[in-house]
Amino acid sequence: MSVFRAGLFAGTVVVITGGGTGIGRALALAFGELGARVVIAARREGPLREVVETIEEGGGRARFYTLDVRDEARVEAVIGQIWEEVGPVDVLVNNAGGNFVSPAAAMSVGGFKTVLDINLVGSFLMSQAVGRRWLEAGRGGSIINMSATNAESGSPLMVHSGASKAGINSLTQTLAVEWGGAGVRVNAVLPGPVRTEGSDERLWTDEKVVKRLEDGIPLGRFAQPEDVVGVVMFLASEAGAFLTGSLIAVDGGERLRRLIF
């Protein structure tokens, strides 16, 4: 049961990249429950279809498009299709992301660029395709970028991810300034470690590491995808009407964990 009022997002079109798994899935279900027309987009059809069916079974409205956020032509085509087939987008959540663990010295340039391309270039392409349409139509909207606390705290063994998320923070603040006058708000959410399909497979594979991380989280537990939902809802709603260019950490205090004694 959501703490937000029923029907909060009725009449609102919300696009979520990477909406088939993890944090994106939790967001899609939550927006669907609150009446949004949910559009999810990622590469694999299977997880996307499952989420759409779950939303529809609950009485909500949703559809999916397959796309790779790195593919400029496909991004443009899908956003055009969404405008025609669903309606003008109100909220874009740039959630699709990639990561893997590797010492910086051993990482190939291809591996580094891959994560930069998905996280940073992908968020730019999606924002540009949606933002251009908002500017042309003289209508506002809200973009929420999924960053991470590793943008601000150093990102050992994930140099590509930290650099990409730092880029996303800058992208967020630049677009907030460029597009604020047109009524477009652009904010970023910075989760700390979250247990998701993608991260459990690639990052949190060693229970000893999970336990050590958890011990350093002031709120005493690892985040679940649902922990990230509330702040995104807040930013997407009228409650966030005067927030733009804000970078909001959702990490149970993990980034502050440096205990001296």
Ligand X SMILES: NC(=O)C1=CN([C@@H]2O[C@H](COP(=O)(O)OP(=O)(O)OC[C@H]3O[C@@H](n4cnc5c(N)ncnc54)[C@H](OP(=O)(O)O)[C@@H]3O)[C@@H](O)[C@H]2O)C=CC1
Q: Catalog residues that contact ligand X under the rule CB under 6 A.
A: 17-18, 20-24, 42-44, 47, 68-70, 95-99, 118, 122, 146, 148, 191, 193-194, 196-199
Do the Cβ atoms of 28 and 51 come closer than 8 Å? yes
Which positions touch ligand TC6 (CB under 6 A)? 97-100, 102, 108, 110-111, 114-115, 148, 150, 161, 193, 198-199, 202-203
Residue 146, contacted partner among ligand TC6, ligand X, none, CB below 5-8 A by kind: ligand X
Q: Which residues pair with 94 in a beta bridge?
A: 145
Tokens 């496909």 — which residue? 74
The encoded tokens of residue 191 equal 């989760």
- Given 3-state DSSP classes, what are the helix, strand and coil percentages for the chain, each rounded to the nearest 5? 50, 15, 35
Q: Please, which residue, 41 or 89, has the CB nearer to ligand TC6?
A: 41
Residue 151 contact, options ligand TC6, ligand X, none, Cβ 5-8 Å cut-off depending on partner type: none
- Residue closer to ligand X (CB basis): 56 or 117: 117
Least distance (Å) between residue 68 CB and ligand X: 4
**Do the Cβ atoms of 48 and 42 come closer than 8 Å?**
yes
CA pair distance 57, 22, nearest whole angstrom: 19
- Residue 69's binding partner among ligand X, ligand TC6, none (Cβ under 5 to 8 angstroms by kind) is ligand X
Instruction: Write down the least CB distance from residue 127 to ligand X, Å.
Output: 14
Per-residue tokens: 218: 């002031």
Q: What are phi and psi of 160, to 5 degrees?
A: -65, -45
Q: Which listed option, ligand X, ligand TC6, none, makes contact with residue 115 (CB within 5 to 8 Å by class)? A: ligand TC6
12 or 95: CB nearest ligand TC6: 95
Nearer Cβ to ligand TC6 (36/231): 231
Least distance to ligand X, CB of residue 168, Å: 8
Alpha-carbon separation of residue 218 from 65, 97, 137, 155, 252 (angstroms) = 39, 26, 46, 20, 6
